[in-house]
Structure 1
């Protein structure tokens, strides 16, 4: 299969999925989310999976705000459901998933990385759950997955203030597991993925399933609640102003 905005490559048991919209900083519109979902299904026989973004500037800069700006509640709910479907597919993928964070990872892009098993960031990468300044909250799992990596208060600070953190700080707080030089990121992640692909497949899958089970008992209800909250903010004055200001490249004027 082939897609306009997502690439899938294979090499000796390692699949690499690249979000390929560099002119839009790899922002995730509906077409790209659907393509990513199909690519994940196509790669289901991989022994290790790498997720990254095309170009030098962004992993995934976020959801497509130009698309979201005029959504109503029902449309926003459908978009949230699609985003959750993709992040859930990453989290429950049949083998370990490495997010190679090669640039900006904001909002939905950060949430894609959170759903991966391992996160390796380039030195120039910047991450954050920045939705608050758009008049919304994280809607693809960020409110549920972030705190288990960085702790409750740190997660609240990141979400409440919409903080953007550089790779070194992200490493210190546990948001990413490792930071490497920009020029070394691809080779380093490829080596990690090859090492994982050489491990016993069924044991590795069982290990992942068991590790995921630690969070499963309470996370499902939280994710459902998050989707409802996120989509319910569409149509509010703050959401309209926040997204219009972003599209018009100005500071928002919230009530």
Structure 2
């Protein structure tokens, strides 16, 4: 179905594998276009409750952008490239109503780090490496890196990483809050899907609102508390909320239906 992606669905979890191992899964125009398509599928396909994004091979999640495409770009082309990526892929991942998690299995540099950060949270294998080395090319992150890295690790550390172009390993990423868990390579996808199975056993409408409100909090939106109150009230009109309370009182597992 895709030139640069592998996709599979099991237990309502879509696994998306960026499949350019000979290029360390670098992002080119085709990858961005195909990611945009698969993200739209996540939004609309009721048989998909969650997704994992990972990279093919043992070395790399996504080792940045395909630099060979940069040589033909001028200022207008560079802006267009960033806008397309942000609008069609990175922001769509961040704001998806279903959980999308990055399973980082190696290098996550430049656009790869930005792709991981756009996901709702991240797991990393022990060989993962993270960085925003765009400054080495005379550039800056263009897919949201300056914003999301600062949100996740704080201004000082984000500034240092972007200004030096340095890489950090999985354990440092864990200590900074950039990733949630570090596993062996073999455990990475099973651990990720186990967490997602727990999440998707909950009420879908509650999940979508938690994602949206947490994104608002990350942006420092002063209206977050009032929007939380409104969403809290709205959920009381759902069948899932009634089912959740009833199941709790009856000491049984709730059967949520997304309504």
TM-score after normalising by structure 2: 0.81
1:70 shift after superposition: 3.0
Q: Indicate conservation of the 8 Å contact 1:6/1:19, yes or no.
A: yes
1:216 shift after superposition: 4.4
Provide Cα deviations, 1:47-66, integer angstroms capped at 9, x if missing partner: 21111111111101111111
CA–CA separation in structure 2 for the residues paired with 1:201 and 1:170:
30
Q: Indicate conservation of the 8 Å contact 2:27/2:66, yes or no.
A: yes
CA–CA separation in structure 2 for the residues paired with 1:197 and 1:183:
23
Write out aligned runs for 1:40-119 (5 A): 40-44=39-43, 45=45, 46-85=48-87, 86-119=89-122
Which of 102-111 and 11-20 deviates more? 11-20
The 4+ residue runs of structure 1 with deviation greater than 6 A are none
1:37 aligns to 2:40 (yes or no): no
1:137 aligns to 2:147 (yes or no): no
1:78 shift after superposition: 1.1
CA–CA separation in structure 2 for the residues paired with 1:82 and 1:7:
22
Provide Cα deviations, 1:190-240, integer angstroms capped at 9, x if missing partner: 21121122111111111111111124467xxxxxxxxxxxxxxxxxxxxxx
Report what 1:149 is aligned to: 152
Report what 1:249 is aligned to: none
Write out aligned runs for 1:1-255 (5 A): 2-44=1-43, 45=45, 46-85=48-87, 86-216=89-219
Provide Cα deviations, 1:27-55, integer angstroms capped at 9, x if missing partner: 01011100001011112232211111111
CA–CA separation in structure 2 for the residues paired with 1:4 and 1:59:
17
Aligned length: 217
Unaligned runs of 5+ in 1: 219-255
1:69 shift after superposition: 2.6
CA–CA separation in structure 2 for the residues paired with 1:215 and 1:151:
11
CA radius of gyration, larger in: 2
Secondary structure at the aligned position of 1:8 is classed as: strand
Q: Indicate conservation of the 8 Å contact 2:28/2:66, yes or no.
A: yes
Q: Indicate conservation of the 8 Å contact 1:47/1:196, yes or no.
A: no
Report what 1:251 is aligned to: none
CA–CA separation in structure 2 for the residues paired with 1:188 and 1:81:
33
Provide Cα deviations, 1:131-151, integer angstroms capped at 9, x if missing partner: 110110111000011111111
CA–CA separation in structure 2 for the residues paired with 1:195 and 1:141:
29
Q: Indicate conservation of the 8 Å contact 1:15/1:49, yes or no.
A: yes
